[in-house]
Chain A
Amino acid sequence: MPSDDDDPDAVPGARQPSWRALWRLKSYLRPYNRVLVVSWVAAFLGIAAGTAVPLVGKQIIDGPVGHGDLGGLLPLGLLALVLGIAEAVLIFVRRWSQAGPVLGLETAIRDDLYRRLQSLPMSFHGEWQSGQLLSRATTDLSTIRRFLGFGALFLVMNVLQLIAVTIVLFHMYWPLGLIVAVSAVPIIVLSLRFEKRYIGISRRVQDQQGDLATLVEEAAVGIRTIKAFGRSRHLYEGFDETARGIHQTSLAKVRLASRFFTFLEVVPNVTLAMVVLVGALAVARDALTLGTLVAFTTLVLQLVWPVASLGYILAMGQEAMTSADRVTEVLDTVPEIVGGTEVIERPRGHLRFEGVEFRHPGSARPVLRDVWLDVRPGETIAVVGATGSGKTTLTALVPRLIDVTGGRVTVDGHDVRDLTLPALRSVVATAFEEPTLFSMSVRENVMLGHGDAGEDDVREALEIAQATFVYDLPWGLDTRIGEQGMSLSGGQRQRLALARAVLGKPRILVLDDTLSALDVETEALVEEALRRVLADATGLVVAHRASTVLLADRVALLRDGTIQHVGRHPDLLATVPEYRALLAQDADLDPDRALR
């Protein structure tokens, strides 16, 4: 029996899970109501048949056997056979019909979880490791599936069976019935206590498993860096610590569960002893027939299993509750960035920043403040600023990967927040500073947002980005590129990401330092091609190099979180010392210093 010597469930501040989250997920079963009714009915009838078999046994012992009535034996024996077959068939019906709803539930929640995650903004994804999200979409969901599918049914069935058998027992001989009923009391009391403690431990194990997944993820994604420094050992230590944590918590869980489960088994057995004692005494006094006693003991032993498995099922229920809690935690996260209702019929690409402020949640200093910038349709503006000055942040505001915390960004006079997300994001295309590729075919990577693009469009985009090398890959455009495009060279990755951005001729093209990994000659070729694209598109080009700045009609200098100067490159170079400091490479060109 559980004692209070070690209390492993002292988790401060953990969200107290409740049945509510689980109950809510149950609504996913609604489409299967019919099937569920069938399976529950089958379940009840199955219990009835199962309980009836020992009663037939009683009849046989008290009737034909007791009275030497050979003729009565066969029909009763056949009845037992029929009941036995019926029970098996009913169990089959229940199990077979359960598969659909239960797996349907799991699949539907997973689909919804994925949909929700795709709609949650960058700020959410910046905080959540994919490992944590993954453990919710896999481990937690199958825990819920197992409980709602089988556990819940068994829970109800076992309790019903307990009640049904107890009633039958009362009916047969009440003193024995009473003994059996009383034996249920300690079980109930203990189950409630057990529930509270188990919940704490199981949540902790689940969280630790999530942490472990995170570590594994970093160790896998960062493998190059780890290898470059030979730091496997260092990572292993972190991993090992968490793995040992899981080991410890799981052991505590095992200890708690073992005590509880054992208790659940010992109670019916002791009850059996009492039944034999009292029953035998009663038979001796002729208060009870021998057949009834046999039936009684059979029925009591029949209860051992449901009662003992009650422990497992309750444990399962706890875990399912914790899991449901973890899943709804994500499902309930409201996407902060949702689309408006407007669409632009014929976008011209007039981009304006009007008094824009951006502040990371919880940070005192805004990254951007009072930013005013007007990019006229067809115009290209270069954004120049020191490392960490907020250029990437500024570009992320346009397709609403993040939202302004003050002021507004407009496209053709519409606040971007009033546009539907697909409408906005089909007007704006971005090439990010990190290429962000997927382990899919080259074609799929390039056509990421344009499922309907034709072969010629793809070729044109690849040509602009000087990325026609992909045609020489082993399977051409169908070649799968490694995760994050790691089977390509740095410059190749960047050009592929650029091709993706220019595909479909977006009205507004945002290039975030996208030429940094290109050699001078390739860069010149790409710039040449881009110049044609930017001739009629609106462009926002983040640049660290003068060569890239020359793509733009005007330059905006971002400094101290705001745009301090806007003007033509030569003018700024001549008049603004900060700009000159940022872009002029005179020092490098100084012949004595350049070549020592």
Chain B
Amino acid sequence: MSDSWRGVAAEDKDHIPETVSLLLRSRSRRLLGDLLRPHKRAIALLTAVIVVSNAAGLALPYLVKTGIDSGIPPMADGRGSGTLLTIVAAIVGAALVQAVTRQAFLQLAGRIGQDILLELRRRVFTHFQKLSLSFHEGYTSGRVISRLTSDVEAIAELLDSGFDGLVTAVLTLFGTAAMLLVLDVHLGLVALLPLPVLLLFTRWFRRESSAAYRRTRETVALVIVHFVESMTGVRAVQAFRREPRNQEIFERLNADYREANTRGSRLIAIFMPGIKLIGNVTVALVLLYGGWLALHGTVTVGVLAAFLLYLRQFYEPMQEISQFYNALQSAGAALEKLSGVLEEQPGVAEPPRPGELARASGALRFDAVEFAYGEGPRVLPRLDLEIPAGQTVAVVGTTGAGKTTLAKLISRFYDPVSGRVMLDGVDLRDLDEATLRRFVVMVTQENFLFTGTIADNIGFGRPGAPMEAVVEAAEAIGAHEFITALPDGYHTQVGKRGGRISAGQRQLVAFARAFLADPAVLILDEATSSLDVPSERMVQRALRTILADRTALIIAHRLSTVEIADRVLVIEGGRIVEDGPPDRLIEGSGRFSRLHQAWVDSLA
């Protein structure tokens, strides 16, 4: 089975080309540094605590050695157990110090880790919200979810266990090496002999697993995207018997993910025993050489015991280090993805120095505007248009003509390729988001309801609006009646994506929401297409009063809407082919006149 079902798109967001991987590294590092910076002092404290904790841990074998070497002989000589008791007390003391510091470490590290995660979640979420629609169109919600769930969790995992493992391992590594040399230089050197091998081996593992984990992140993202999409569109999936094919695709993506995972765990399967092997060989060497030395009385039995203990302490955490790499690689790959998102610049950027606009009258102007989606063809070849404040303009034209595109430019979902769109003489690019949205609101062709109550959803137009205002908005556009007929009235849960109310009802709620927002410029894109005729008429009646003092752009195929317009624009292929008051256009013999006639005929 090939990949052709996915289709071709201009760019593939999942692929990370090898050539730029170095850059990605530094970009992830920057993000990591950025996240850690506020915790500098806590991390310093953390380091101090962990040093103490490890020192206490390291002291244990040494104390055992002292116990054996200097505690036993006095007793054997009948000089009492004073030395031994002191040493045992020291062991207990060291154990307690280690415990206290370790707990402090775990809690502190946990807090820092969680703070970082919170910050990361906040940042990525905010950034996703900031990125423009052109980004989201290619990225898909599945990927957004994957970034904010599985990728953030990979980093959580690193912070949870990996960090602890690394610090402990590194400290133990150096501490133990030092202790070994202090205890006995010769034996110490023999014990440290395999160290270079260890380092080379670790480097090999790091390089190999880096590739493996990147692949894991990529494959899991595809699994997530397919999963989310098939669940979102499950209605069509079931109605069109798509299940077997979907299952086939899913199982293949899932198998790819498994493949990537297998590679990762195979690497660990080599790395972990490899470390163990090096450790065990060292132990045997120390036994042999140390035994030989002890035999000649060069080292004491206590030293030999201490060596065996230290080597154990040395290599056990080394196992842990692979766990750390494991976590680090996943987190590293996740971090690459996340930092990639964070570095993505919004196509529609906030102005560095926003222009002032305290009150907008709602005058709109298109000044030699050209627009294309990405690399695609010009959707709007060249557009000059002036809409005075307070005018109600109906936009009509065949489907795909560019009506919605025009509306999106006014809402600044996109910026024109060339030319300017202006509100009250200010280029939209000079207005900050908050200002623009206060004055311009659009009811999109695809209205979206959030999980929550009807009141929540209407209130979305003006968060914090009192209930009376919500009811008033619903009443104004004629939604009040159906809402109060629902079992819980305004507090009815609309369900996922508003699935518990009908399509027309969703449209009414979306409409009420826009009304509540009370903007200077209101754009309605097919906002009544799913309503029955009486409801539509009711909305239109409401619009007459609502639109009296604001600028409005109404896109509609049902020409009944035109009756409330002051002016009609007919758009074909992204150009305005007719422009004028409706009655004049109808009387003429142009495009609109024909359209209108066709519409009148369709009513018969």
Interface residues of B in 416-436 (CB under 8 A from A): 433-434, 436
Check if B277 sits within 8 Å of A85, measured CB to CB: yes
Does B577 reach chain A (CB closer than 8 Å)?
no
Q: Are B6 and A441 in contact (CB under 8 A)?
A: yes
**Chain A positions within 8 Å of B255 at CB level:** 107
A294 lies within 8 A of B308 (CB): yes
- Do residues A280 and B239 form an inter-chain contact, with CB atoms below 8 A? no
**B4: chain A residues within 8 A (beta carbon):** 441, 444, 478
Contact bitstring A134-150, B, C-beta under 8 A = 1, else 0: 11011100000000000
Chain A residue numbers with a CB within 8 Å of B477 are: none
Assess whether A88 is in contact with B280, with CB atoms less than 8 Å apart. Answer: yes
A210 to B291 Cα, complex, angstroms:
59
Q: Tell me if B503 counts as interface (CB < 8 A to partner A).
A: yes
A47-63 vs B, Cβ < 8 Å mask (1 yes, 0 no): 00000011011001100
Contact B149 A135 (CB under 8 A): yes
> Which of A13-21, A172-180, A297-305 lies at the binding interface?
A297-305
Measured between alpha carbons, how far is A155 from B383 in the docked complex, in Å?
71
Residue B288 is within 8 A (CB to CB) of chain A in the complex: yes
B195 within 8 A of A: no
Judge whether A564 is part of the interface by a CB distance below 8 angstroms.
no
Given contacts A80-B284, A139-B149, A218-B451, contact A293 B68 (CB under 8 A): yes
Is B234 a contact of A118 with CB atoms below 8 Å? yes
Query: Do B533 and A582 have beta carbons less than 8 Å apart?
Result: yes
**Smallest beta-carbon distance B343→chain A, Å:** 19
- Cβ of A273 within 8 Å of any chain B Cβ, yes or no, is yes
B52-64 vs A, Cβ < 8 Å mask (1 yes, 0 no): 0000000011011
Cβ-defined contact, B137 with A486, below 8 A: yes
Contacts of B301 in A (CB 8 A): 61, 65, 290-291, 294
Q: How far is the CA of A53 from the CA of B287 in the complex (A)?
A: 10
Asked if B242 contacts A449 (CB within 8 A), the reply is yes
Please determine whether A216 and B144 come into contact, CB atoms closer than 8 angstroms. Answer: yes
The smallest C-beta distance from A387 to any residue of chain B, in angstroms, reads 3
Q: How far is the CA of A159 from the CA of B491 in the complex (A)?
A: 55
Give Cα A269–Cα B63 distance, bound, in whole angstroms.
Answer: 12
B122 contacts A243, CB within 8 Å? yes
B284 near A547 with CB under 8 A, answer no
Assess whether B276 is in contact with A114, with CB atoms less than 8 Å apart.
no
Partner of A232 from B130, B136, B153, B404 at Cβ < 8 Å? B130
Tell me which residues across on chain B come within 8 A of A484, comparing CB atoms.
232, 446
Decide yes or no: A255 and B107 within 8 Å by CB, A270-B95, A305-B316 being known contacts.
Answer: yes
One of A118, A216, A240, A298 near B237 (C-beta < 8 A): A118
A588→B525 CA distance, assembly (Å): 20
Chain A residues whose CB sits within 8 angstroms of the CB of B107 once the complex forms: 254-255, 258
| Measured CA separation A234–B457 after assembly (Å) | 12
**Contact partners of A139 in chain B: CB under 8 A:** 149-150, 153
A99 CA to B75 CA, complexed, in Å: 54
- Does A214 lie at the interface of the complex (its beta carbon under 8 Å from any beta carbon of B)? yes
A520, B602: Cβ atoms under 8 Å? yes
Query: B443 in the interface, Cβ–Cβ < 8 Å?
Result: yes
Q: A87 interface residue, CB < 8 Å from B?
A: yes
Interfacial chain B residues near A434, Cβ < 8 Å = 446, 503
- CB B316 to nearest CB in A, in angstroms, measures 5
Asked whether B295 lies within 8 Å of A422 as measured between CB atoms, the reply is: no
User: Of B37-45, B171-179, B199-207, B264-272, which binds chain A?
Assistant: B264-272
Q: A73-B288, A129-B496, A519-B557 are in contact. Are A387 and B239 (CB under 8 A)?
A: no
Please give the distance in Å from B263's CB to the nearest CB on chain A: 9
Contacts of B438 in A (CB 8 A): 230
Q: Is A499 an interface residue (CB 8 A)?
A: no
* Stretch from A23-31, A120-128, A409-417 at the B interface: A120-128
Residue of A nearest to B10 (CB): A474
- Distance between Cα atoms of A364 and B488 in the complex (Å): 12
Q: A581 contacts which of B9, B225, B294, B534 (Cβ < 8 Å)?
A: B534
B373 surroundings in chain A (CB, below 8 A): 487
Residues of B with C-beta under 8 A to A522: 398-399
User: At the interface with chain B, which of A184-192, A194-202, A260-268, A373-381?
Assistant: A260-268
| Contact residues in B for A232 (Cβ distance below 8 Å) | 126, 129-130, 433
Are A73 and B68 interface neighbours, CB within 8 A? no
CB distance from A59 to the nearest CB of B (A): 10
Among A160-168, A343-351, A424-432, which stretch is in contact with chain B? A424-432
Q: A110 contacts the other chain (Cβ, under 8 Å)? A: yes
Contact (Cβ within 8 A) A481 B234: no
Q: Is B192 an interface residue (CB 8 A)?
A: no
Do the beta carbons of B231 and A117 come within 8 Å of each other? Answer: yes
- The answer to whether B122 and A483 have CB atoms under 8 Å apart is no
A239 interface hit (Cβ, 8 Å): yes
The one of B92, B99, B288 that contacts A262, using a Cβ cutoff of 8 Å = B99
Determine which of A246, A255, A298, A518 lies in contact with B312 in the assembled complex, contact meaning CB atoms within 8 Å: A298
Asked whether, in the complex, the Cβ of B270 is within 8 Å of the Cβ of A448, the reply is: no
Closest to A337 in B: B238
**The residue from B294, B557, B595 contacting A517, defined by CB atoms under 8 A apart:** B557
Name which of A4-12, A90-98, A454-462, A532-540 contacts chain B.
A90-98
The reply to whether A226 and B145 contact each other, CB–CB distance below 8 Å, is: no
Majority secondary structure of chain A interface residues (helix, strand, loop or mixed): helix
CB A101 to nearest CB in B, in angstroms, measures 11
Question: Which of A263, A518, A519, A585 has a CB less than 8 Å from the CB of B603?
Answer: A585
**Inter-chain contact B106/A388, CB cutoff 8 Å:** no
Q: Assess the A487–B137 pair: CB atoms within 8 A.
A: yes
Given A251-B114, A258-B107, A298-B305, do A441 and B287 touch, yes or no (CB 8 Å)? Answer: no
Q: Please state if B231 and A130 are interface contacts (CB–CB under 8 Å).
A: yes
**Chain B: which residue is nearest A221 at the CB level?**
B141
Give the contacts of A419-457 with B (CB-CB under 8 A). Answer: 421-422, 425-426, 428-430, 432-434, 436-444, 448-449, 451
Q: Mark B86-127, 1 if CB is under 8 A from A, else 0.
A: 011001101110111011001100110111011001100110
Residues of B within 8 A of A225 (CB): 444, 447-448, 460, 510
> What separation, in Å, do the CA atoms of A356 and B308 have in the docked complex?
81
Q: Is A193 an interface residue, CB under 8 A from the partner?
A: no
Contacts of B64 in A (CB 8 A): 272, 276, 297
Is the pair B133, A481 in contact by a Cβ cutoff of 8 Å? no
When C-beta atoms are compared, the residue in chain B nearest to A66 turns out to be B301
With A and B bound together, what is the CA distance between A259 and B102 in angstroms? 9
Chain A hits for B113, CB < 8 A: 254
Bound form: Cα–Cα A546–B602 in Å: 7
B21 at the interface (CB under 8 A from A): no
Task: Give complex CA distance A437, B240 in Å.
Answer: 12
- B residues less than 8 Å from A301 (CB atoms): 60-61, 309, 312-313
| Complex Cα spacing A139 to B258, Å | 15
Judge whether A481 and B7 touch: CB under 8 Å.
Answer: yes
- When distances are taken between beta carbons in the complex, the residues of chain A under 8 Å from B529 are 516-517
How far is B262's CA from A339's CA once the two chains are assembled, in angstroms?
A: 38
- The answer on a CB contact under 8 Å between A440 and B125 is no
Inside 8 A of A488's CB, which chain B residues have their CB? 400
Q: Which residues of A contact B411 (CB under 8 A)?
A: 227-228
* Contact residues of B between 502 and 536, Cβ < 8 Å to A: 502-505, 508, 510, 513-514, 517, 525-526, 529-535
A593 within 8 Å of B (CB atoms): yes
Residue B554 interfacial (CB < 8 Å):
no
B258 touches A469 (CB 8 A): no
Chain A binder among B23-31, B243-251, B332-340, B352-360: B243-251
Residues of chain B lying within 8 A (CB to CB) of residue A359? none
Q: Say yes or no: B504 contacts A76, CB within 8 Å.
A: no
Q: B292 touching A73 by the CB < 8 A rule?
A: yes
Residue A386 is within 8 A (CB to CB) of chain B in the complex = yes
Specify which of A224, A301, A469 lies most central, judged by the most chain B CB atoms within 10 Å of its CB. Answer: A224
**Any chain A CB within 8 A of the CB of B224?**
yes
Q: Which 8 A/B pairs are nearest by Cβ-Cβ distance?
A: A230-B437, A491-B399, A84-B280, A441-B7, A254-B110, A480-B7, A449-B240, A387-B504
13 CB < 8 A contacts A-B: A131-B149, A228-B442, A231-B460, A234-B463, A254-B110, A258-B110, A298-B312, A388-B505, A429-B240, A430-B239, A474-B376, A487-B373, A519-B398
* Additional pairs, 4, CB under 8 Å, beyond known A85-B277, A441-B8: A139-B150, A432-B235, A519-B557, A520-B595
